[in-house]
């Protein structure tokens, strides 16, 4: 028997597999296909204070080994998420979830977090300061160590749940930002959000997506995301959720060896809705193949 359980800030997960925000909705569509309670947890759709329609279409562009999206945080706003989406979610998922929160200024993050912190189904609050698809917020707030720390302190002051800061890879050096949010009180780090990318239509000679650029995700970014997890693990003493191109049980092991305690699976869910289920089912055999009896023994094992 192998042990797949991991712990994030006192929250024990049956396995380290967490569908990433924006790729799993609120879970109930996937629950029609399989019992999503096999997941460690999942991060629900990015939530803002006010409702957002998102960016103009087209919003998606395919690319070899990945995709580019510029959805733009489309969501019904935190009040409707709490009153309409979470009750439906509770019917199909009976474990604590990760609440992904976005904003355009510190006050919006604070107000959203105050509201979501009261929900008993929320185990971790994930602060998205790294979305590349919105203007005037998101990634703009996550590229400065000082601003990242300020948001972290403000959110921690109004919450009781563990707070994980989701960082952007679109910076010259991620380590000072990771250190800044740790010093400001972050309980963990989600690493990383999408890389910036674009496609151009050869017939129209224009960018494929209306936003021109968007978030590049999928298997192609895995080596770059792995590198960032490795660097940040050496710089901080708080847990890391590794994100970026994870699409197999082998990827999970590799990400954990780099320093992740858990992983999020994003674009793979959009290619195959059973991606997380398959990874969870394959994980014990892959652990046995590499002589791993307890996942906790390999966290940071490549250092």
Residue 150 has pLDDT above 60, yes or no: yes
How far is residue 80's CA from residue 86's CA, in Å, rounded to a whole number?
A: 9
According to the model, what pLDDT value does residue 139 have? 58
Burial of 292 (0-12, 13-18, 19+ CB in 10 A): buried
Q: Is the pLDDT at 141 greater than 90, yes or no?
A: no
Given a cut of 60, whether residue 2 has pLDDT beyond it is yes
Q: Closest Cα partner for 47 from 18, 19, 74?
A: 74
Q: What is the average per-residue pLDDT within 278-291?
A: 98
For the stretch 35-56, pLDDT in tens is 999 999 999 999 999 999 999 9
- Interval 6-37: pLDDT, tens: 999 999 999 999 999 999 999 999 999 999 99
Q: Specify whether 131 is catalytic.
A: yes
131 pLDDT above the threshold of 90: no
Q: Is the pLDDT of residue 133 over 80?
A: no
CB 276 within 8 A of CB 290: no
Determine what percent of the chain is predicted with pLDDT higher than 90: 95
Mean pLDDT for the stretch of residues 151-161: 98
**If you average pLDDT over residues 58-73, what whole number do you get?**
95
pTM above 0.85, yes or no: yes
Which among 185, 56, 164, 195 has a CA at the least distance from the CA of 100?
A: 164
How far is Cα 189 from Cα 125, in angstroms, rounded to an integer? 11
Q: Quick one: pLDDT band at residue 140, thresholds 50, 70, 90?
A: low
Percent with pLDDT over 70 in the chain:
97
Q: Are 127 and 163 in contact (CB under 8 A)?
A: yes
Q: What is the mean pLDDT of residues 100-123?
A: 96
Beta-carbon contacts of 135 under 8 Å, excluding residues fewer than 6 positions away, are none
Q: Which of 112, 113, 131, 192 is catalytic?
A: 131
pLDDT for the residue numbered 276: 98
Pick from 218, 227, 234: which is nearest to 270 by CA? Answer: 218
pLDDT band, very low/low/confident/very high, at 138 (cuts 50, 70, 90): low
Structural domains in the chain plus CATH codes: 6-297 (3.20.20.70)
């Amino acid at each position: 028997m192998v042990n797949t359980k991991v712990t994030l800030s006192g929250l024990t997960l049956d396995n380290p597999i967490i569908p990433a925000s924006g790729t799993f909705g609120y879970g109930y569509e996937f629950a029609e296909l399989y019992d999503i309670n096999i997941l460690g947890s999942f991060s629900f759709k990015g939530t803002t204070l006010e409702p957002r329609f998102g960016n103009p279409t087209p919003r998606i562009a395919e690319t070899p080994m990945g995709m580019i999206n510029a959805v733009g945080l489309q969501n019904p706003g935190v009040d409707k998420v709490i009153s309409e989406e979470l009750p439906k979610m509770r019917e199909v998922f009976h474990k604590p979830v990760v609440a992904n929160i976005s904003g355009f200024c510190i006050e919006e993050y604070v107000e959203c977090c105050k509201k979501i912190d009261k929900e008993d189904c929320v185990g971790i609050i994930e602060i998205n300061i790294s979305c590349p698809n919105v203007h005037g917020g998101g990634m703009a707030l996550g590229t400065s160590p000082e601003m990242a720390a300020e948001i972290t302190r403000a959110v921690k002051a109004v919450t009781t749940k563990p707070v994980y800061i989701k960082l952007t890879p679109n910076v010259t050096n991620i380590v000072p930002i990771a250190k800044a949010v740790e010093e400001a009180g972050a309980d963990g780090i989600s690493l990383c959000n999408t890389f910036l990318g674009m496609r151009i239509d050869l017939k129209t000679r224009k960018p494929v997506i209306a936003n021109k650029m968007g978030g590049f995700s999928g298997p192609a970014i895995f080596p770059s995301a792995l590198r960032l997890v490795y660097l940040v693990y050496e710089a901080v003493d708080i847990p890391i959720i590794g994100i970026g191109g994870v699409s197999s049980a082998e990827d999970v092991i590799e990400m954990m060896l780099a320093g992740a305690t858990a992983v999020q699976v994003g674009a793979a869910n959009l290619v195959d809705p059973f991606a997380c289920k398959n990874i969870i089912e394959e994980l014990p055999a892959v652990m046995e193949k590499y002589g791993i009896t307890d996942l906790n023994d390999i966290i940071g094992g490549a250092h």
